Structure formats: structure tokens, C-alpha cells
Amino acid sequence: MPPEPPVPFPAAPEQVCFDRAELGAILSVYGRMVAAGEWRDYGIAALRDVAVFSVFRRTAEVPLYRIEKRPALRLKQGMYAVRGEGGQLLRRGHDLAAVLRLFDRKLIRPID
């Protein structure tokens, strides 16, 4: 009986996506910000190396924030990141809930 051929490593996924728990956490923040009148629209992109949840103040403009998942960075700086309108990195980490806490302080406004 000939030896079995070695089992190849599993292929890299065709695209990176948010799982159900991650999307639930993001949509929870999105719902609060919509209720506060800060955000109006969103878009989701699932690419080969990154998944992006973009939020918009108005539909026809550049994203106000981009919540990104980059699994390639999970052992380095953390695979979750929030980028601002100009592409600047606002927060990065290994825990999505901790990264999304950036938006908790955005809900606090002074009383007029």
C-alpha cells in the first residue's frame, strides 16, 4: 500500500468577512449613532485581506469612519482598527469591543 500524500495546508480564505458576533457589535454602535443623529448610512466591503464597515454622515460622501478587520495583523498590532475620514488611524487593538469604545465618548455632547 503506497503512503498517503501529505495533507496540504488549508488555503487562505478568498475574502475576509466579519462574523456574526463582530457584525452584531458594530451594528449596535451604528444603531446608537443613528439614533443620536450622527450617522445615516453604511457600507460593507469584504476583500481578500481586509473587511471594512464604512459609516457615512450622508450617502454621497466619503466615509466618516472605517472599521477594519485585518487578520494578517492579529499577532502584531491587533486585527481591528478604526480609521477616520482622512485615513488616519484612530484606534487599533486585538479586541473589537475595546476598539469600538472610541465611539462611546462621541455620544457625549455638552448641553446647549
Longest CA span, the chain? 82
pTM for the full predicted model: 0.78
Count of helices and strands (H, E) across the chain: 2, 5
Residue 87 has pLDDT above 90, yes or no: no
Calpha distance 80→94 (Å, rounded) = 6
Say what the pLDDT of residue 74 is. 83
Say what the pLDDT of residue 4 is. 74
Higher pLDDT, 77 or 25: 25
pLDDT in tens, 47-58: 889 999 999 987
Residue 10 has pLDDT above 70, yes or no: no
Classify the C-alpha dihedral 83-89-91-95 as positive or negative. positive
